[in-house]
Amino acid sequence: MKLKKFLPLIPAAIILGTLMFPSGCANTTTPPTGGPKDTIPPVLTKVFPLPGTVNVDAHKTKIRFTFNEYVKIKDANGIYLSPPQEKRPKSAIKGKSLEVSFEDDLDSNTTYTLDLTGAIVDNNEGNPFPGFTLVFSTGSQIDSMCMTGLVQDCNTLKPMKGITVMLYKDPSDSAVFLQRPIAAAKTDDWGFFSMRNIQDTVYHVYAVKDENNNNKYDPDNERVAFLDSVFRPKTVYRDSLYELMKFDMKDTALCMARKTDIELNLFREKPTKQLIVKKERVGLRTAYLTFMAPDAVIHDMRIKGLPREKLISQFNPRRDSLELWVNDQRKMPDTLQLVIKYDKTDTAGVLKPTDETVKLAIGKELRAELMKKSSSTRDTKHEDTIAVMTTKADPTTIEQYGYEVEFKYPLIESAWDSLKFRIVNPRQQESKGKVRVVQDSTNLRHYNIYPEDPLQVGFDYYLKIPHRLFRDVNGYYNDSTDLKVTLPTDEKLSSITLELSGVKNKYIIDLLTEKRDKVVRSFIVDKDANVVFPYLKQGNYCIRITEDINRNNIVDTGILLARRQPEKVRFFKLNDQILIKVLERAEMVWQVNLEEMFR
């Protein structure tokens, strides 16, 4: 490796000279040589107290870092003390020095680390100070062990920056909620963390997206991760440890080369309380409710003054949002009164059936919209007088999803057997075909229409939805719609085939974009099978595989107090890389043993 790659790794002690002590309890980096523009980060020239100092006074302690130029604080949260106190350290710039003080006395006989990673930049160009960790003790010795780890999102497995990793000796479940940890650290841009100079003992390990910086877990607002078992560090800290050196976060190769002792998957817990948190009337005959927690249980529900069968409702897949429609053509009152009996958390924290009346009133915006429509026919749009529907006929997904039709409002009349489907072959000969209609089990307004016979390349397929076949809850009928689809013939398109074996559970197979933020195609399998992703354009993709243990077709989160981790996610890898590069005209086939992948 070229010498310049090691420049960011040179310890500050080489520059500080007399500041270095035998046990090596501090590290930083030195700058590369400069050019016309100042690109050199600040250099630490003096530290008080010296790294490794013991018997530091716990009362009104002050730490001073002096640099070779004027600096400023870019991020006060980057000045992090471990173990943390109730209040964050106070920091101030005095000349070329950073002075750090503490509002409360330090604990006695305790090894402390004060980290400056990401906190300091120079005054002129904003060049970041790479980082420095000062260790000192209010007792007679310095703790010597260390550990490293990675924190990642439970669904995308992307590294999570700025997460607080916390160590506890207390084995009780309430510790992370009520107590500050005995050691803590923040993750860097790569989700990597290191804890140095910690005790040689057994720890319970947690990670928290600490939104309010109180070094505790607040389940209503924060995400959390935990290690299934206790952890005891095995490595003694020393300056030469690669993983504990300070790196330029832009140097991918150096950052990725760091090894980790543990991995933590961050998730958001289901709320523990159940109640209705939001309600809204979004139309004359339409409203919705939002529940605090998923899996809401409703025992009975009706609109006052209307028979029960006049109310149409639909939960989302997680059952924390409920859509409501009134199937009645009479004039609707300004306020609909929904009488609902559902399992609600009472003041004692017990979930029990509760009767509640929810008033669904027409708001100002909706009222203005309705008045505008009724005041003049010129403001009436065509979509205000028909059963609005959206359609999709995607050649690349037609074989999996068919023609897709979704109505804006639920249907009260339908005639699916009146659809007209015709096929035109390459010789322009026309024939009639048959289709089957499947209503979406999670969305009563969505329908998939599948041709009964396999589609063929070079054939044109036409689906006609004649007008006045369907009527929605507003009493409006549909317009006619024609949909045409032809299988792709672009020879540059590619395909991926996974030959799945060892399928012992139910799995969700998702093809994702390069950034892992969009699902291109999804399959659910519960037995050995071939999964094909056809008609792919050249580019980079990821394949995410989720083990659906409870077989509910969604990815379930974890529960901390129940010690239940989120459902396991794995990414298919080629040559240990998550990104799959798809070239033009490629037919890629791989064998995947899911039992081995999730072992």
Q: What letter does residue 537 receive in the DSSP assignment? A: P
The span from the CA of 377 to the CA of 93, in Å, is 67
Spell out the residues 6+ positions from residue 18 whose beta carbon is closer than 8 angstroms to its own. Answer: none
Strands 435-439, 471-472: pairing kind:
unpaired
Tell me the CA distances in angstroms from 402 to 205, 296, 344, 438, one per residue in order. Answer: 48, 32, 40, 10
Half-sphere exposure of 338 (CA within 13 A, CB side): 27
Delimiting residues of CATH 2.60.40.1220 domain(s) in the chain = 3-137, 384-485
Residue burial 375-404, b: 16+ Cβ < 10 Å; e: rest = eeeeeeeeeeebbbbeeebebbbbeebbbb
Nearest to 278 by CA among 286, 293, 269, 288: 288
Residue partners of 38: CB distance under 8 A and separation at least 6: 122, 124, 125, 127
If we measure between CA atoms, which residue out of 206, 204, 186 comes closest to residue 194?
186
Q: Which regions in the chain score pLDDT beneath 50?
A: 1-31, 34
Residue 208 to residue 224: CA distance in whole angstroms: 5
CATH code, residues 3-137: 2.60.40.1220
289 φ/ψ sector (left φ>0, alpha ψ -120 to 50, else beta): beta
Q: How confident is the model at residue 560, as a pLDDT?
A: 94
Residues of the chain with CATH 2.60.40.10: 494-597
**String of DSSP letters for 469-521:** S-EETTSPBPPPEEEEE-----TT-EEEEEEEE---S-EEEEEEETTS-SEEE
- CA distances, 144 to each of 203, 347, 599 (Å): 15, 48, 34
Q: Which residues contact 497 (CB under 8 A, 6 or more apart)?
A: 530, 531, 532, 533, 587, 588, 589, 590
CATH 2.60.40.10 corresponds to the domain 494-597: yes
Listed in sequence order, the residues at least 6 apart from 235 whose beta carbon sits closer than 8 Å to its beta carbon are 145, 146, 147, 241, 261
Q: Are 44 and 16 contacting, i.e. CB atoms less than 8 angstroms apart? A: yes
DSSP-assigned states of every residue in 59-111: SS-EEEEEESS-EEES-GGGSEEES--SSPPEEEEETTEEEEE-SSPPPTT-E
The token pair at 243 is 């993983």
> Who's near 328: CB < 8 A, 6+ residues apart?
285, 306, 310
Q: What is the pLDDT of residue 17?
A: 43
Kindly write down the DSSP assignment for every residue of 275-335, as one continuous string: -EEEEEEEETTEEEEEESSSS--EEEEEETTS-GGGEEEEE-TTSSEEEEEE---SPPPSE
In whole angstroms, give the CA distance from residue 483 to residue 463: 5
User: In this predicted model, what pLDDT tens digit does every residue of 30-67 receive, in sequence order?
Assistant: 445 545 577 889 999 999 999 999 999 999 999 999 99
- The two three-digit tokens of residue 172, written as one number: 């009780």
Per the structure block, which two tokens stand in for 99? 């002075």
- Write the CATH number of the domain with boundaries 276-366: 2.60.40
The answer to whether residues 28 and 41 touch, using CB atoms and an 8 Å cutoff, is no
Q: Is residue 239 a contact partner of residue 27, using CB atoms and an 8 Å limit? A: yes
**Residue 360 near residue 336 (C-beta atoms within 8 A):** yes
pLDDT tens per residue across span 424-475 = 999 999 999 999 999 999 999 999 999 999 999 999 999 999 999 999 999 9
- In CATH, the number for domain 384-485 is 2.60.40.1220
CA distance 65 to 100: 8
* Distance of alpha carbon 487 from alpha carbon 265, whole angstroms: 41
d(CA 488, CA 486): 6
Contact present, 368 and 356 (Cβ < 8 Å) = no
Question: Mind listing the pLDDT tens digit for each residue in 72-94?
Answer: 999 998 899 999 999 999 999 99
Domain 145-264 is classified in which CATH homologous superfamily? Carboxypeptidase-like, regulatory domain (2.60.40.1120)
According to DSSP H, which parts of 129-268 are helical? 175-178, 252-256
**The pLDDT of residue 2:** 39
CA dist 158 and 160 (Å) reads 6
